Structure 1
Amino acid sequence: MSVVYPLLVALLVTGLAAYMRWRLPVYFIALLGALALTWVLGGHVATTLTLLVIGALAAVVLLVAPLRKSIISAPALRIFAKILPPLSETERVALEAGTVGFEGELFSGRPNWDMLFAQPKPELTADEQAFLDGPVEDVCRMTNDWEITHIRADLSPEIWDYIKRNKFFGMIVPKEYGGLSFTALANHKVIQKLASVSSVLSSTVGVPNSLGPAELLMHYGTKEQKDYYLPRLADGREVPCFGLTGPWAGSDATSIPDYGVVTRGEWNGEQVLGVKLTFDKRYITLAPVSTLIGLAFRMYDPDGLLGQTKDIGITLALVPRDTAGVDIGRRHFPLNSPFQNGPIHGREVFVPLSQLIGGPEFAGKGWQMLVECLSIGRSITLPSTASGGAKLAAVVTGSYARIRKQFGLSIGRFEGVEEALGRIAGHAYTISALAEASAAAVTRGELPAVPSTISKYHCTEMARQVGQDAMDIHGGKGIILGPRNYLGRAWQAAPIAITVEGANIMTRTLMIFGQGAILCHPWVLKEMKATQITDPRERLDTFDAALFGHIGMAISNAVRSFWMALTGSRFGAAPGDAYTRRYFRRLNRYSAALALVADSSMSLLGGKLKFKENLSGRLGDVLSHLYIASAVLKRFHDEGTPEADKPLLAWSFHNSCFEIEKAMSNALRNFPVRWAGYLLWILVFPLGRRAQYPSDRLSHKAASLLMTPNESRERMSRGVHTAPHANNPAGRIISYLEAVVLAEPVERKFVKALKNSDIEALDFAAQLDEGVREGWITDEERDLLRALREMTIDTIAVDDFDTEELRSAGYARFAALNSQAAANDSNPMLSSPATDTDIGRNIA
């Protein structure tokens, strides 16, 4: 027998063991048994004997724990501890603050899909559904977005009063403090619906229910703080804001220069120990109308009044608006979406230690508190806003594309428009599933650090694409602002969501993979923590277990990635039904590939990986789309695998596969260690990239779902405000679709008869009357076509204004300043034209 046969036997057994992840004793028994059988059957003696000896020696070294630890693990621990990049306090806190859910399985290379399906289907309580059907629906009907954004630059007094009285600001506050005690899922549903009518309204309600005093007080507040402030926050007596971002600290929040010095001062007529605060914050939502400021600052104790530590660290405090030294009131103007947002300043503002959130014992723990609450807020407000806007844009654009005709054909039937409409449908379906998944994670009690960044980044980016496609399809209807325009303000506001709660560029390149690679990896964090154990025996034992678990997983992922790529992921155990099982198999392949490349990146680059932001961003894209595809499949199964939704599921899934392979390809083509990049390419793409962007046929099916009344379109519209009324032009257009579809056969019959006739009537009404006389249509069909014409006119109509209506309230003052400057032109000493600052101040 050839010398090759024993080698093939050893290779096949090793590959099978790696793919199936057998334990080491099982592997060595199988390997040595197979080689022995090969010898008995006449295998090449020298080769077989050599492999048996090598296998036996490896078994002794690896299976005898003391020997393995002394020969392999102890030297590896010394090397690992030396090359391990130092973790900053910021990174350490961020890693320890979050929890790991199903996303951790995606780094394993062999996801446990039972864990995903074990998550309960997200459902609202009866009280939460009643709130959505009652107060939320009512306030949506009250909302006129044009009045808010153009005339008032604010919510109306009636809306402010309504949301306070109905405890919109207290959705997350427990009932014992007068709040509604809603789950994160209900919070998501409320923000989603509000966002479908006004981003100003959704922002105003969203911020107090995410990162802010209420969230922080619930988790860390003292009993006295909770008893006093939570009831006032719940019923709107206090309007909160939270000051974190400043001119010198944006995404790098830990570098805040705002400070508080421990000292004695007067508070409510008494001398007490407290902090004197100096701060300069900007971009603070609700600041202009807030009565209670949550403030992040660095706390110092130079005189040792609290102990030996001089630099105590980032601390959080509650500062009433009327505290002496607080300067608040002017507003920023965020891209024609004038939610209340502005700067806050303070110099030597004294507050007692009792105003520190959590009291003095939580001084210096502010960053940990913020990171934990940021993951909650980031999971809900912005993804929910994106979901509401995208779902509304999808159903109204589908209606518009069916109603609006060019060249005698609905514009949605043109392939170029159909392609954009298919993207809208697919992205809206994806955003909805992803936003709900992150909210459901919070509802389950998780602190989803990595899923929250995935959700925030991808929901807002996909929503921006939805907005662009919707604007392109609407054409002139979308760009002419006015009461009839339901897209323009949302399109103008899209960059706001991209920017706030962490700029998307930084989120993608630093946070998603940066946190995920350590926090979600089954072994890396355990290896890192092992180096911090002080007891030598325990440190070595812990590191040994993590190291060999890691090595085994890495070998397995190399084999799994290569085999599944070769076979097109056609084999292997997977959940789902006959339709979705193939999808889960593909995700198994991509999970193995991600884990393989992530391990290789961390091993080869070490601490330098954090500076390789392009690589980190691309691997973050792979992780993100694995999570997104999982969320979409979970949603599809939760809803009972509806047949009508299959085109949307398929579009979303194939788009994620395309993005995964594109990101992985770019990562490997630009891998910093070139030889490793080539080797990894062979293991990940032995047959090259195979995933394709969603096909034209699939886009056609997805687009058709939006342009036709059906159950899938109905599911898409759930959770957004579609009621047809004067304040909701989008709702009116959505409501027309069914009637328009019914009228189309009559319209085609009438147009065909009209073209073949010689009647002279030019007016549409006269043509209809002539059609009745000629017998082309009946009286009832004439009424149907008249109604169709009225609906079409309402659909395509845009607004116009007198010039004075468009001028801002500050125009008169601006004109007067420049008239005065012109009058003083003859004397340069008196000339003083309006400057940009003058205009800003006077208009404000």
Structure 2
Amino acid sequence: MQLFIWFIYVLASLAVASYFRMKLFNGTVAVFCLFVVGSILGIIGEFSWLLFLIAAIPLNIESIRKQYLTTPILNSFRKIMPEMSSTEKDAIDAGTVWWDGELFSGNPNWQTLHNIPQARLTADEQAFLDGPVEEVCKMCDDWEVTHKKADLSPEIWQFLRDHKFFAMIIKKEYGGLAFSAYAQSRVLQKLSSISAVLSTTVGVPNSLGPGELLQHYGTKAQQDHYLPKLATGEEIPCFALTGPEAGSDAGSLPDTGIVCKGQWQGEEVIGLSLTFNKRYITLAPVATVVGLAFKMFDPDGLLGDTKDLGITCALLPRDTAGMEIGNRHFPLNVPFHNGPIRGKDIFVPLDYIIGGAEMAGQGWRMLVECLSVGRVITLPSSSAGGAKSIALATGAYARIRRQFKLPVGKMEGIEEKLGSIGGNAYLMEAVTSFSTKGVDIGEKPSVIGAICKYHLTEKMRQTVAESMDIHGGKGVMLGPNNYLGRAYQGAPIAITVEGANILTRNMMIYGQGAMRCHPYVLDELLAANNQDDDEALEQFDRAVFGHIGFAFSNFFRSIWFSLSGAHLANAPFKDETARYYRTMQRYSTNLAFLSDVSMAVLGGELKRRERLSARLGDVLSYLYLASCVLKRFDDEGRQAADLPLVHWAMQDSLYKLEVALEELLNNFPSKILGKTLKLIIMPFGKSYKRPSDKLEHKIAGILQTPCEARDRLGKGQFLSREPGCLLGDLEQTLENVLAAEPIYNTVCKAAGQYLPFTELNLVAEKGLALGVISEEQAELLRETEKGRLRTINVDDFDPAELIQSIEKPKPKRKPRTVKSA
């Protein structure tokens, strides 16, 4: 009995010390004090003290601990440590750890989250959005771009050059705009509301490409030559990375650059013989300067002893002899310029390498560092902008369109879709605002970039599909008045590019997150790879025992939070959001605990168990998305009117997080361990359900009724009321319908009969005849009818107009032979 009491006493002592994450020495002192109390009470005997000392002395005396504990663990760790390729190492080293590290810590500091300044535009950035961005949106006819010309008009191209749309990332000293990442995001969001071709054309030069690489790594001569020309649009850049044999596995480039001697401008110099075959290169058909990634080899040792120098990036002018920029690809009827680039045995000097010869072999690090920033901005922003526009358009359409004598938006099946559309639009804007702010304060959040790219492009695909369901034939019939069809067609493009989403979810988010965000794993790996044994032992000792304490802490905290429902966890506010903060602290602890268990059980096998890794990544992702929602709600003044959107986004995220957790534990390699972990983490099952019907009803109401919450949801989108803006026309028609309904009801009451809410021009005449409405009210009914018909009608075409006219070259006629008489 005494042994049992002793065991419970020790376990409780360890639990308390671990819960509060005491350091080893402090925890030992705390347990020692508890043992003294236990001795006084007669609970702890001599045998218990002996066991305590046997454990405490070697743990706390550094020389004993290192010799008899740390050294054997380090030797074993080196044997089982997963192999890390150079590209993996570069990817892990490239980014920085930001709020994602807090979420992985098991104890996120909410004050840290809310102390991060809100993303804001400068006066110049706002003026650019209100001026040139607004103007180019008015100039762009997406049907003309996608169906008739397969290109932006020459006037738009020139406008983009004149107003430095391609220079948002370029420093002012080179003639650029030097906009913040947040400003770039807002520009792309607004452009995406009018045309994906337009937003892509602007986004790519400001993302991964020569401009970004030159500013960070280029030589002074390269910067002085190219950056001013890129700023004015004299030079149009593209970057050639992907090829037929290296898509998602970009590190396996077959393209080569062989160091050799050759003739250049009349002299023999050391340079590169380049052979490459690239495809899917955005802006390639119009590019004047090509960034190129290839593997560099020096077989003859012209540069030194290293034969395989690694991935390298170079910059080639379009007129480089031997380089072939091929025909255009045709990406799903969203015809932004995209095409192949090829070259065989092209000789260029070494100073074509970005950064010069000393940057040979540094290409992969350069790419992943820049890509981590670009993945936060370009595709997530275009996706968020598209979702915001779709939310407003779908809400307006659902209120204007009537069936069964009422607006379709009042039907519960439609409300379900509207709830999802509105909630996701709110979340996506929250994610882009917070994530781009991270870039602006100096972070290179590689893990967050992967989360943003994957989840926001997937949510855009979901949003446009749900909107299509609501629009029905209006969305299906392409034409000048269809504002949805091209977005639906083009959604898979964003899913595919910049790392396919299957790869991003299954390998990148957690694959990088476990290494980068875990407070100890990367240090352990670095220590194990350290060739200096003394330094390695010191580094590993510090990391491994910190890790053990961290694991114990998360184990006991997981049990406590699970049993208590996290009711005693910290929350910075005592309102309706408090529960979310507490739940997220619980699941942050669970993530850290499960990560340690998974790595301990599977070791290097974990990165090959992609579905398990993906579910752990889902937990991290949904914690991040939910954090962004809470941050946005606070930044915008905790507006009560926005709570339905906040609740939907939070409940949907936490519900999906719990589904991922449950699937992870149900599919854990060890069935017994999986069930045990489930008992620890989810003893009472899932805590969250899908957002309720009542909640989605409220969001449907927000989307269908002009109000401040709706204005905040669609802030920054192109909604001009000038002719030609389809979304602006929808907004005006929505306002007219709502204003016309009381007038319509007055006429129906005076007529003593129900009149269909169609042919409102005739309703106007009837109202005038009955003398119950004014001429001004009658005119509103007539204008409402015109707008209503524009909203519900679709385009039709002469059959000949839909047949592509291809003028084939006529065969040359053979000269006639004139026979002599």
When the two structures are superposed, what TM-score results if normalisation uses the length of structure 2? 0.96
1:314-463 mapped onto 2 (5 Å cutoff): 314-463=311-460
Question: Which residue matches 1:18?
Answer: 18
1:576-655 mapped onto 2 (5 Å cutoff): 576-655=573-652
Alpha-carbon deviations, 1:275-307, whole Å to 9, x = none?
121111100000001110111111122222222
Give the drift of 1:329.
4.0
SS in 2 for 1:271: strand
Q: What amino acid does structure 2 have at the position aligned with 1:795?
A: T
Which shows bigger deviation, 731-740 or 629-638? 731-740
Aligned equivalents of 2:599, 2:760: Cα separation in 1: 71
Which shows bigger deviation, 726-735 or 338-347? 726-735
Q: What amino acid does structure 1 have at the position aligned with 2:96?
A: T
Give the drift of 1:764.
5.2
Aligned equivalents of 1:529, 1:482: Cα separation in 2: 58
Question: Which residue matches 1:237?
Answer: 234
Matched, 1:221 2:227: no
Question: Which residue matches 1:805?
Answer: 801
Out of 789, 797, 813, the position equivalent to 1:793 is 789
Task: Name the Cα RMSD after superposition.
Answer: 2.0
Q: 1:751 to 1:61 in 2, by over 3 A?
A: farther
Alpha-carbon deviations, 1:67-91, whole Å to 9, x = none?
2222221111111111101111111
The 8 Å contact of residues 6 and 35 in structure 1, kept in 2 or not, is answered as no
The 8 Å contact of residues 554 and 596 in structure 1, kept in 2 or not, is answered as yes
Give the drift of 1:537.
2.7
Aligned equivalents of 1:433, 1:698: Cα separation in 2: 19
The 8 Å contact of residues 279 and 346 in structure 1, kept in 2 or not, is answered as yes
Matched, 1:471 2:461: no
Aligned equivalents of 2:731, 2:53: Cα separation in 1: 73
Give the drift of 1:48.
4.6
Alpha-carbon deviations, 1:308-333, whole Å to 9, x = none?
22222211111111111111141000
Alpha-carbon deviations, 1:260-287, whole Å to 9, x = none?
2222333334433211211111000000
Q: 1:635 to 1:48 in 2, by over 3 A?
A: farther
Give the drift of 1:591.
0.4
Aligned equivalents of 1:41, 1:345: Cα separation in 2: 83
- How many residue pairs get aligned? The number is 811
Matched, 1:177 2:174: yes
Out of 106, 109, 132, the position equivalent to 1:135 is 132
Aligned equivalents of 1:258, 1:32: Cα separation in 2: 64
Give the drift of 1:776.
5.3
Q: 1:482 to 1:40 in 2, by over 3 A?
A: same
The 8 Å contact of residues 277 and 349 in structure 1, kept in 2 or not, is answered as yes
Which shows bigger deviation, 241-250 or 32-41? 32-41
1:34-73 mapped onto 2 (5 Å cutoff): 34-43=34-43, 48-73=45-70
Aligned equivalents of 2:620, 2:756: Cα separation in 1: 65
Aligned equivalents of 2:68, 2:27: Cα separation in 1: 21
SS in 2 for 1:534: coil
Aligned equivalents of 2:156, 2:274: Cα separation in 1: 34
Alpha-carbon deviations, 1:88-133, whole Å to 9, x = none?
1111111111111110111111112233223221111111111111
Matched, 1:772 2:768: yes
Which shows bigger deviation, 360-369 or 257-266? 257-266
Question: Which residue matches 1:820?
Answer: none
Give the drift of 1:183.
1.5
Which shows bigger deviation, 336-345 or 254-263? 254-263
1:272-287 mapped onto 2 (5 Å cutoff): 272-287=269-284
Q: What amino acid does structure 2 have at the position aligned with 1:808?
A: Q
The 8 Å contact of residues 143 and 727 in structure 1, kept in 2 or not, is answered as no
Q: 1:767 to 1:641 in 2, by over 3 A?
A: closer
Alpha-carbon deviations, 1:354-387, whole Å to 9, x = none?
1111001111111111111111111111001101
SS in 2 for 1:297: strand
Give the drift of 1:640.
1.4
Give the drift of 1:761.
14
Give the drift of 1:636.
1.3
Aligned equivalents of 1:689, 1:341: Cα separation in 2: 46
Which shows bigger deviation, 204-213 or 267-276? 267-276
1:676-755 mapped onto 2 (5 Å cutoff): 676-751=673-748
Question: Which residue matches 1:75?
Answer: 72
Aligned equivalents of 2:477, 2:330: Cα separation in 1: 20
The 8 Å contact of residues 506 and 614 in structure 2, kept in 1 or not, is answered as yes
SS in 1 for 2:273: strand
Q: What amino acid does structure 1 have at the position aligned with 2:41?
A: L
Alpha-carbon deviations, 1:418-439, whole Å to 9, x = none?
0000000011111111122222
SS in 1 for 2:57: helix
Aligned equivalents of 1:677, 1:417: Cα separation in 2: 39
Alpha-carbon deviations, 1:159-189, whole Å to 9, x = none?
0000011111111111111111111111111
Aligned equivalents of 1:439, 1:61: Cα separation in 2: 48
Matched, 1:89 2:92: no
Question: Which residue matches 1:840?
Answer: none
The 8 Å contact of residues 32 and 52 in structure 1, kept in 2 or not, is answered as no
Aligned equivalents of 2:328, 2:708: Cα separation in 1: 44
Which shows bigger deviation, 476-485 or 432-441? 432-441
Aligned equivalents of 2:256, 2:538: Cα separation in 1: 44
Q: What amino acid does structure 2 have at the position aligned with 1:793?
A: L
Alpha-carbon deviations, 1:510-553, whole Å to 9, x = none?
10000000111000001111112333332222111111111111
SS in 2 for 1:531: helix
1:813-824 mapped onto 2 (5 Å cutoff): 813=808
Q: 1:539 to 1:308 in 2, by over 3 A?
A: closer
Q: What amino acid does structure 2 have at the position aligned with 1:69?
A: K
> Quick one: percent identity of the two aligned structures?
52
Question: Which residue matches 2:164?
Answer: 167
The 8 Å contact of residues 283 and 332 in structure 1, kept in 2 or not, is answered as yes
Question: Which residue matches 2:539?
Answer: 542
Aligned equivalents of 1:83, 1:680: Cα separation in 2: 24
Q: What amino acid does structure 1 have at the position aligned with 2:765?
A: D
Aligned equivalents of 2:48, 2:692: Cα separation in 1: 51
Matched, 1:668 2:668: no
SS in 1 for 2:529: coil
Question: Which residue matches 2:819?
Answer: none
Out of 131, 149, 171, the position equivalent to 1:152 is 149
Aligned equivalents of 1:546, 1:363: Cα separation in 2: 34
Aligned equivalents of 1:751, 1:20: Cα separation in 2: 70
Question: Which residue matches 1:566?
Answer: 563
Alpha-carbon deviations, 1:678-703, whole Å to 9, x = none?
22111111111221111111111122
